[in-house]
Structure 1
Amino acid sequence: MNEIRIYVEGGGGKDSKAWLRGAFTQFLNKARPDGTRSKATLRVVMCGSRQETYELFRLGTREHEGAAVLLLVDAEAPVTGTEREHLAAQDRWDLSFAKDDSIHLMTQLMESWFVADPAALARFYGQGFAAASIPKRKNVEEIPKADVEKALKDATRNTQPGLYHKTRHAPKILDSLDPATVRARAPRCERLLQHLAQTAD
């Protein structure tokens, strides 16, 4: 396999898509074992809305048969079954065209990865960052979406960059995350990174 294409939810406008694409690429490449980058090119496609992501992933699966084509979206809620089952129940998506190992979730949302690495958050926000507001739960995927969002708001309100802002802050935070730290606290991130390593091996 000489190309891995990952269709990722999020991005909004042209500039924010470019910033997030670069940040996701950096984070995912940092996690890849030495040597695998030369074997398979990683292409991150920021798609915008959830539905746009699904449609582009479906199209990409048809148009890039020689590549490993993956989907990566927020779970938005606790996940009790498989990725396929979760998205079928929540979004009514027909993913019968896709392999199980091509469907991946950021559980429950991208920001769950951020709270998995509070040291990266502290470096970005600097003085005034309230680290005590970040949940300590080992498995960050068990933290409800609303609690993650509130924790980031409470932790950052007195910092120079200001309250957490998805467009302005997320790419820089994502770019600085330590993959080993995140994957140790986010099982579905671990699943994604394991699959990337195996696909490029």
Structure 2
Amino acid sequence: MNIYIYIEGAGDEDDIELLPRPRQGFRSGIISGKETTTGLRLGFRKFFQELYDIAGEKIKIFTVMCGSRRDAYEDFKTALESQPEAFNVLLIDAESPVDSTVTPWEHLRNRTEDHPWILDAVNFEDEQCHLMVQTMEAWFIADIDALREFYGEGFREDGILQGMAGYHSVETVSKATLKVWLEAATRHTGKGKYHKTKHAPKLLELLDVDTVRQASPYCDRLFTTLTATMATSAS
């Protein structure tokens, strides 16, 4: 069995080969494919190392950076048709608070900002839709040690720690607030203030997965789902 994870975010030239087919009729503002900057794929590959270890040689896992959230969704849908024998997964930012009473697909369909392209997301398996809640940066603030290691001297974590005192989970912090916290904490470092394209790939590599999973239930859900899928396939 093959597992394909179609992820919202910038890619590199290696991702082109993994896309199920060329894009049709539209291009997003986020490029998937050859870029002047390093894509996120290698960062996610390192972050998912535990899953690759479980997969071993019998199961192949492919992480595919697709560009915008709409691009990722379109590639996911195409994969359902072109490679139905694989376990195809969509992984995108939630972008807004997630109500625990609705499924990830319902959350996306309820977002007017994602209309009209998401409205046909019906009759898909819940296990195939996963959210970075509310955005990938929530995973970064879950692991202050990784941030400190990457940014080094000048990194000021106090603002993040004080801010988190008002939240019960990293997943309840808004996208805008996460950006403000990260930029303030990194402004005086040698690498400069947080820049997603430049810094996120390496930060993903440094994250301690167990720490992030404990802080982010939706991240834990992704790992749990894929681990269970591989166990079922092997039985």
TM above 0.5, one fold?
yes
- The residue number in structure 2 matching 1:65 is 84
Gaps of 5+ in 1: none
- The residue number in structure 2 matching 1:140 is 170
**Cα deviations by residue, 1:49-68 (Å, 9 ceiling, x for unpaired):** 11111111100111111110
Q: Which letter does structure 1 place at the counterpart of 2:183? A: K
Rounded Cα–Cα distance in structure 2 between residues aligned with 1:38 and 1:72: 24
User: How many residues are aligned here?
Assistant: 199
- The residue number in structure 1 matching 2:225 is 195
Q: TM-score, normalised by structure 1?
A: 0.93
- C-alpha contact 1:33 1:197 (8 A) present in aligned 2: no
Gaps of 5+ in 2: 11-29
Q: Does 1:101 align with 2:127?
A: yes
**Cα deviations by residue, 1:99-143 (Å, 9 ceiling, x for unpaired):** 111001000001111011110000000000001122434521011
Rounded Cα–Cα distance in structure 2 between residues aligned with 1:138 and 1:121: 20
**Cα deviations by residue, 1:15-57 (Å, 9 ceiling, x for unpaired):** 4786311111110123x28543333211011110111111111
Rounded Cα–Cα distance in structure 2 between residues aligned with 1:4 and 1:79: 26
Q: Which letter does structure 1 place at the counterpart of 2:105? A: R
Distance change in 2, residues 1:33/1:67 (3 Å): closer
Pick from 127, 137, 161: which aligns with 2:191? 161
- The residue number in structure 2 matching 1:49 is 68
Rounded Cα–Cα distance in structure 2 between residues aligned with 1:114 and 1:16: 24
Rounded Cα–Cα distance in structure 1 between residues aligned with 2:158 and 2:57: 41
- The residue number in structure 1 matching 2:107 is 86
Percent pairwise identity? 42
Structure (1 or 2) with the larger CA radius of gyration:
2
Q: Does 1:180 align with 2:200?
A: no
Select the structure with the greater relative contact order (CA < 8 A; seq sep ≥ 6).
1
Rounded Cα–Cα distance in structure 2 between residues aligned with 1:200 and 1:164: 36
Distance change in 2, residues 1:59/1:41 (3 Å): same
Distance change in 2, residues 1:55/1:34 (3 Å): closer
Distance change in 2, residues 1:177/1:16 (3 Å): farther
- C-alpha contact 2:38 2:198 (8 A) present in aligned 1: no
Q: TM-score, normalised by structure 2?
A: 0.80
After superposition, the CA RMSD in angstroms is: 1.7
